Amino acid sequence: MGMFFMEWGLFVPITYLTSYALSQGMSPQFSFLLLSLINVGAIFGRWIPGYCADRIGRFNTFIITIFGCLLFTACLWMPAKSSKPITTVFALLFGFFSGSNVSLAPVCIGQLCKLEAYGRYYATAYAIVSISTLTGIPIAGEILTRCNGEYWGLILFTILSYAASLVCLLAAKLYNCGWTGYKEKF
């Protein structure tokens, strides 16, 4: 469920940040540059958290990066309005923290099962996660429509999705090894 909610929120900023910037009166050149900035952040966001995951644990790193996505969406994107510097910083930081969302999830699934059961766990998890991947962007679009073109609703949807993901991932970690247990660098 943690991955389900993460995927629900993950693609909303990637899809809607450009149109958000245009709606705030930012230039088309700058608005379309934001997607590239998310990807620049994601380059480092796949490499550095992967390195950290080998040292502090895969679930621990995944939880930290989910919290980062939640924090920066709530503290930067929600209040950004027409501020280019805040929107730029959000794009880079969200890109960094969300870069590991897709790359660490399969590794965390592997932490929950024996090697011979990995295929079954992975297929089951992503069969469920595919529903959130397919529905997240249309739900956000409908929220945008119902909020009369104002983006606060879809930003709140993203925040709540990441909050739910964080709760589910923390529950999985606590269930498997408690607060301080590492169980093979959990």
Instruction: For residue 45, count other CB atoms closer than 10 A to its CB.
Output: 26
Question: Does residue 186 have a pLDDT over 70?
Answer: no
pLDDT of amino acid 68: 98
Quote the pTM value: 0.93
What are the tokens at 128?
């469920």
pLDDT digits (tens, 9 = 90+) for 84-109: 999 999 999 999 999 999 899 999 99
pLDDT of amino acid 179: 67
Query: CA dihedral in degrees (50, 55, 57, 58; nearest 10)?
Result: 10
Q: What is the average per-residue pLDDT within 132-156? A: 97
Burial of 68 (0-12, 13-18, 19+ CB in 10 A): buried
**Measured between alpha carbons, how far is residue 124 from residues 1, 3, 11, 53, 135 in Å?**
11, 12, 21, 24, 18
Burial of 86 (0-12, 13-18, 19+ CB in 10 A): middle
- Domains of the chain are 2-177 (1.20.1250.20)
* Residue 160, amino acid: L
Portion of the chain with pLDDT greater than 90, in percent:
87
Question: Does residue 80 have a pLDDT over 80?
Answer: yes
Q: What is the average per-residue pLDDT within 123-136? A: 95
Question: Does residue 183 have a pLDDT over 90?
Answer: no
Question: Does residue 1 have a pLDDT over 80?
Answer: yes
